[in-house]
Structure 1
Amino acid sequence: MSTKNLIFTVLLVFVPISIVAHYLEWGAVAVFVTASIAILPLAAWMGAATEEIAVVAGSTLGGLLNATFGNATELIIALVALRAGLVNVVKASITGSIIGNLLLVMGLAMLLGGLRFKEQSFQPVVARVNASSMNLAVIAMLLPTAVNFTSSGIDEVTQQRLSVAVAIVLILVYGLTLLFSMKTHSYLCDVGEAEFEAGEAGHAEKPNLWLWVVVLLVATVFVAIESEFLVGSLEEATSGLGLTELFTGVIVLPIIGNAAEHATAVTVAIKNKMDLSVSVAVGSSLQIALFVAPVLVLAGWAMGQPMDLDFNPFELVAVAVAVLIANSISSDGRSNWLEGTLLLAAYAILGLAFFFHPIIEGIG
């Protein structure tokens, strides 16, 4: 068992601890912290189950399965928060996931991979296509906000209708990106996938399909339960910890939901499989922007919650900055430890800005 898997297995002990903390009323902070830690190994098991099922399902169906469940943990947490009416936290988690994948995950991968190998390479064509898709995501987030700022008296219903229409367009684009990567231009992704199958999976025989289906279902149920604990204690716990909802949504929740994917991206980068590492980091950002965010808009519409694509301007600036620097660094298809450091520095600066944002707002 690898060190990563051992750590995630040990962390499963926090699942019963968080349940006890909730029902014995240990306090909001204790429930929030234990539920957050409990979600980490559950997300890892969901990811492992999805990959094992994908091996049996075949490349096309398996790719679709991975694309659909890649950010399932974040989607579940966001849906629970949305149902609880924490719309601003949900929006913050969307921007935070995009920023975290582009800066934190890719930065760690390039830094740690670059410390072991002087220079690493990945497909520049894929990087350019991903850059264009991320630019579209920024436009989709920017325009509804711009409409609100440039229109006098636009009502909530109109804003939501606009957001729903944009969400449908984004989901269609996401479907086309899947068609591009899995069918018409699948050869661009073949190298990374082949390396992963040979170096990471190494299946001598096909996995037990029903076993992994049960694992996926059980892990999903427990993620939903822990998400309820997390969201239920969020407001009181963040206040007790001295954190704002904005900082929690942008920084804390995305790290919790994405930890397993983060670990995978860094692990394969250290093994000089930068194609796969960049694919995990950028692919996750694209899935958040083109699939998860639109699904949440449609879910908010169905639930009667005012979920739209009218984001906090400061969040939009942060996403635009993250996309700009990530596209700039990845455009040549090569990376080193210094470029990884630059991405991490950008993430640290944005994190500090979000942490002190209420103070800045109060002074202004």
Structure 2
Amino acid sequence: MLSLNTLFSILLLFIPISITAHFLEWGSSVVFITACLGIIPLAAWMGTATEEIAVVLGPSLGGLLNATFGNATELIISLVALNAGLVDVVKASITGSIISNLLLVMGFSMLLGGLRYKEQQFQPMVAGVNASAMNLAVIAMLLPTAMDYTSTGIDEAIVQQLSVAVAVVLIGVYGLTLLFSMKTHSYLYDAGVAEQEILTELAESNLAPEDPEHKVNLPLWIGVLLGATLLVAAESELLVSSLEEATSQLGLTALFTGVILVPIIGNAAEHATAVTVAMKNKMDLSISVAVGSSLQIALFVAPVLVLTGWALHKPMDLDFNPFELVAVAVSVLIANSISSDGKSNWLEGTLLLAAYAILALAFYFHPVMGGIG
């Protein structure tokens, strides 16, 4: 069986293939598929470099670094798409990232962890705080959408101004959640020793050397982080430029691509980490990765994209497709319901995966947004 390291190394081959396919005009579908596959190992390298640098910086600064760069791949892809004017795809990827983390990642973690251990436990109070924060994110997405759909002839600029104001509030809340988890209530998160264990565990689960006594080469990992970031940006350009024609050729809608495919690509390495640690009976860490990533998308990435769209004069706001909003709301509802008791088993994981499968089918057959723009 291939290890994650070997698999990611093989997928690196798709980076030169995608570039070659672009310049030799092998077709949009080939460019799109190879660019998607090329981004997966780059996301893993970015995650590993971040974790290695975080180990050197220590728990507080390291935690802040992780909180900032945890979803860097999705942010880069979304920024490239936003700059290209594909606002609907950007919005779809935001909702898709939240849904995939809450249902797909947590579902697989609970299922595979539950098959190995009859019942797994995690901190219920932390789950409760995360649930409240996710509810806030749903409210922040719901109100601009509701305002648009309950007002006739409302100016798009008004919706964007509201979205910018809400984005500022959300970023402020995100900063307060970091303060809460790292300083004032760090004992709830087993910070200090446990956080150092988390950083080490995450690094080992990705691509870091297996020798527990290895010394971190800081300049090397900073170089890896910068190099991987530049390559992700380049691959994202290829992905976005080929997306419209490729999805049409493959018989997919932009809605399905944005909600289902793009988040899986950007989150693949993180997904693997969450499942790996769950199978080691570290469900606290697995839930932290899954829910923490969703919170970062909702409270940090989405607001940053709104503010960037406002600065670039792109019509990026928090007025989402109502169908996407319903999908996020039901995902948060079932995820909060299952995680509220601080215990998990394989059946609960199956229920989350079933919910994700139903939503994926609904997005696949949904006729809205057959084109981009």
Q: Same fold (TM over 0.5)?
A: yes
Range of TM-score over shorter length: over 0.9
8 Å CA contact retained: 1:128, 1:331: yes
Shift in Å at residue 151 of structure 1?
1.5
- Paired position in structure 1 for 2:198: 196
SS at match of 1:7: helix
Deviations 1:295-347, CA, capped at 9 Å, x for gaps: 00001001110000000000000000000000000000000000000000000
- Paired position in structure 2 for 1:35: 35
SS at match of 1:253: helix
8 Å CA contact retained: 1:141, 1:309: yes
Distance 1:208 1:260, change over 3 A: same
SS at match of 2:152: coil
Distance 1:197 1:98, change over 3 A: closer
Shift in Å at residue 58 of structure 1?
1.0
Q: How far apart, CA to CA, are the structure 2 residues paired with 1:26 and 1:112?
A: 39
SS at match of 1:358: coil
Bigger mean CA offset, 146-155 vs 345-354: 146-155
Query: Which structure has more helix as a fraction of its residues?
Result: 1
- Paired position in structure 1 for 2:57: 57
Q: How far apart, CA to CA, are the structure 1 residues paired with 2:339 and 2:275?
A: 16
8 Å CA contact retained: 2:67, 2:296: yes
Work out whether 1:253 is the aligned partner of 2:259.
no
Q: How far apart, CA to CA, are the structure 1 residues paired with 2:9 and 2:234?
A: 19
User: Counterpart amino acid of 2:48?
Assistant: A
Q: How far apart, CA to CA, are the structure 2 residues paired with 1:295 and 1:197?
A: 25
SS at match of 2:25: coil
- Paired position in structure 1 for 2:354: 345
Work out whether 1:19 is the aligned partner of 2:28.
no
Shift in Å at residue 134 of structure 1?
0.1
Deviations 1:45-86, CA, capped at 9 Å, x for gaps: 000000000011111111010000000000000000000000
- Paired position in structure 2 for 1:66: 66
Q: How far apart, CA to CA, are the structure 1 residues paired with 2:265 and 2:326?
A: 23
Work out whether 1:163 is the aligned partner of 2:163.
yes
Distance 1:305 1:342, change over 3 A: same
Q: Which runs of 5+ in 1 are unaligned?
A: none
SS at match of 1:311: coil
Q: Which runs of 5+ in 2 are unaligned?
A: 205-210
User: What TM-score do you get using the length of structure 1 for normalisation?
Assistant: 0.96
Shift in Å at residue 9 of structure 1?
1.4
Q: How far apart, CA to CA, are the structure 2 residues paired with 1:285 and 1:168?
A: 18
Structure 1 segment 38-187 matched on structure 2, within 5 A: 38-187=38-187
User: What TM-score do you get using the length of structure 2 for normalisation?
Assistant: 0.94
Shift in Å at residue 195 of structure 1?
4.1
User: Counterpart amino acid of 2:64?
Assistant: L
SS at match of 1:153: coil
Shift in Å at residue 152 of structure 1?
1.9
User: Counterpart amino acid of 2:63?
Assistant: G
Shift in Å at residue 193 of structure 1?
2.8
- Paired position in structure 1 for 2:309: 300
Q: How far apart, CA to CA, are the structure 2 residues paired with 1:12 and 1:152?
A: 50
Structure 1 segment 204-243 matched on structure 2, within 5 A: 204-243=213-252
RMSD (CA atoms) = 1.6
8 Å CA contact retained: 1:193, 1:276: no
Q: How far apart, CA to CA, are the structure 2 residues paired with 1:194 and 1:109?
A: 22
Shift in Å at residue 153 of structure 1?
1.5
User: Counterpart amino acid of 1:238?
Assistant: T
- Paired position in structure 1 for 2:207: none
Q: How far apart, CA to CA, are the structure 2 residues paired with 1:20 and 1:51?
A: 32
Paired residue total: 361
8 Å CA contact retained: 2:306, 2:316: yes
Q: How far apart, CA to CA, are the structure 2 residues paired with 1:210 and 1:199?
A: 21
Q: How far apart, CA to CA, are the structure 2 residues paired with 1:162 and 1:197?
A: 37
User: Counterpart amino acid of 1:65?
Assistant: L
Distance 1:206 1:359, change over 3 A: closer
SS at match of 2:153: coil
Q: How far apart, CA to CA, are the structure 2 residues paired with 1:337 and 1:286?
A: 24
Shift in Å at residue 205 of structure 1?
4.6
8 Å CA contact retained: 1:28, 1:236: yes
Shift in Å at residue 10 of structure 1?
1.4
Distance 1:92 1:198, change over 3 A: closer
